[in-house]
Amino acid sequence: MPWFGMDIGGTLSKLVYFEPKDITRDEADAEVETLKNIRRYLTKNSAYGKTGHRDTHLQMNNITIHGRKGTLHFIRFPTSEMGNFLALAKSKGMATLVTTVCATGGGAFKFEENFKREVNMSLAKFDELDSLIHGMLYIETTNSHECYYWSNPTDDALCHKVPYDFSEPYPFLLVNIGSGVSILAVYGPNNYKRISGTSLGGGTFLGLCCLLTGCNSFEEAIELAAGGDSTRVDKLVKDIYGGDYDRFDLPGDLVASSFPQLCSFGQMNSKERRNAVSKEDLARATLVTITNNIGSITRMCALNEKIERVVFVGNFLRVNPISMKLLAYAMDYWSNGTLKALFLEHEGYFGAVGCLLQFNG
């Protein structure tokens, strides 16, 4: 049985595949040809069909899972392509293997019948949040470079990633920014609670950005945002007070999500201003709006729970240093340096890893 863990999310399906490297001669002889072919297909390619990708930079070699040594591979595809994914799996002979795949995320329920019908696979379903935390703790302790923070997040010349020693993690907040956002307070490996969340997440960013700019992918949206200026879209402190507003210690060009007088998109009621902004500006403003809102909710949660470290995960942060730096800055600034924003390299894959780890079939 190949070892798969799947997290079938609202936007992306994440598939982790554990390739055992310690196969004995007897095991190799007993292994059916189809299984060998599937292994070869997965590990020799980094693109599958039109929309499947293997994140080769995230691959983890020489790791141990359930007592076996091997390599962990990380693959993703849009959940909307599930039909094509199942057809591809079928064409590789998956249906001839008697298999159970461990799965989490809403899609584990939605697509359960399709898996059975198309590729004769049963899904062993695991809780999404349990999986997220298990996967995250496992990867963080296995990979010494997993956890990092951004130093000097507001200064492009000085800003860089710095490894963070997360060996004594508890307590921490875990903010999962996927299509929507979940915020968990984690006190121990099996001791956590979901304390908050928001429906304004990565899916909102992508949806609004496509509406406002006509772009068609997350990568395109992020690229546009990188070239834009949100201060041409938002209403700033200086637009209202005419300069720095010293009493609140706010620099004039700061869009402060937790300072209600300021508003995202506040200049867009003016036709003139609307005509003057570019797609890039609108993409940037959307990204900043969504990110600052998440930052603001997170800060309140941290304050309530009296927790000082916040780990941000989820695919919204994929290829998205703008949001990571904004979150790093927001945590630090609004807490006078007491809150620390941390990030993890395998940002969107922990749910999939976690359900693989929980499987003992």
Residue 228 structure tokens? 């834009």
Is residue 203 at the binding interface for ligand ADP, with CB under 6 A as the rule? yes
Exposure letters 298-337 (e unless 16+ CB within 10 A, then b)? bbebbeebebebbbbbbbbbbebbbbbbbbbbbbbbbbee
- Say if CB 229 and CB 287 are below 8 A apart: no
Is residue 11 at the binding interface for ligand ADP, with CB under 6 A as the rule? yes
Residues listed for the chain: 361
What is the rounded distance in angstroms from the CA atom of residue 176 to the CA atom of residue 181? Answer: 6
Selected from 4, 5, 6, 9, the binder of ligand ADP by CB under 6 A is: 9
Is residue 169 at the binding interface for ligand ADP, with CB under 6 A as the rule? no
What is the rounded distance in angstroms from the CA atom of residue 270 to the CA atom of residue 42? Answer: 52
Residue number, 70 or 351, with CB nearest to ligand ADP: 351
| Other beta carbons within 10 Å of 128 | 20
Residue with nearest beta carbon to ligand ADP = 9
Q: Which positions are catalytic?
A: 128
Tell me which stretch binds ligand ADP (CB under 6 A): 83-91, 186-194, 292-300, 312-320: 312-320
Is residue 105 at the binding interface for ligand ADP, with CB under 6 A as the rule? yes
Selected from 52, 153, 314, 354, the binder of ligand ADP by CB under 6 A is: 314
Supply angle C-alpha 191, 333, 347, rounded to 5. Answer: 45
Is residue 198 at the binding interface for ligand ADP, with CB under 6 A as the rule? no
Per-residue string for binding with ligand ADP, 73-102, x by CB under 6 A? -----x------------------------
What is the rounded distance in angstroms from the CA atom of residue 213 to the CA atom of residue 234? Answer: 16
Segment 213 to 232, residues that bind ligand ADP, using CB under 6 A: 218
Is residue 350 at the binding interface for ligand ADP, with CB under 6 A as the rule? no
Q: What burial class does residue 133 get, using C-beta atoms within 10 Å of its C-beta: 0-12 exposed, 13-18 middle, 19+ buried?
A: buried
Selected from 202, 228, 266, 354, the binder of ligand ADP by CB under 6 A is: 202
Residue 158 structure tokens? 């000085």
What is the rounded distance in angstroms from the CA atom of residue 322 to the CA atom of residue 299? Answer: 18
Residue number, 74 or 333, with CB nearest to ligand ADP: 74
Is residue 179 at the binding interface for ligand ADP, with CB under 6 A as the rule? yes
What is the rounded distance in angstroms from the CA atom of residue 288 to the CA atom of residue 273? Answer: 18
* Conformation bin of residue 316: beta by default, left when phi > 0, alpha when psi is -120 to 50: alpha
SS3 content of the chain, % helix, strand, coil (to 5): 45, 25, 30
Is residue 135 at the binding interface for ligand ADP, with CB under 6 A as the rule? no
Is residue 316 at the binding interface for ligand ADP, with CB under 6 A as the rule? yes
Least distance in angstroms from the C-beta of 77 to ligand ADP: 9
Is residue 283 at the binding interface for ligand ADP, with CB under 6 A as the rule? no
Is residue 192 at the binding interface for ligand ADP, with CB under 6 A as the rule? no
The residue count for binding ligand ADP (CB under 6 A) is 18
Tell me which stretch binds ligand ADP (CB under 6 A): 10-18, 40-48, 167-175, 236-244: 10-18
Residue number, 79 or 257, with CB nearest to ligand ADP: 79
What is the rounded distance in angstroms from the CA atom of residue 282 to the CA atom of residue 114? Answer: 39
Tell me which stretch binds ligand ADP (CB under 6 A): 140-148, 156-164, 192-200, 314-322: 314-322
Is residue 5 at the binding interface for ligand ADP, with CB under 6 A as the rule? no
Tell me which stretch binds ligand ADP (CB under 6 A): 80-88, 199-207, 258-266, 301-309: 199-207
Residue 144 host element (H or E):
none
Residue number, 175 or 268, with CB nearest to ligand ADP: 175
Is residue 206 at the binding interface for ligand ADP, with CB under 6 A as the rule? yes
Write a three-state SS string for 326-341. HHHHHHHHHCCCCCEE
**Chain positions contacting ligand ADP, by CB under 6 A:** 9-12, 78, 105, 178-179, 202-203, 205-206, 218, 314-316, 318, 348
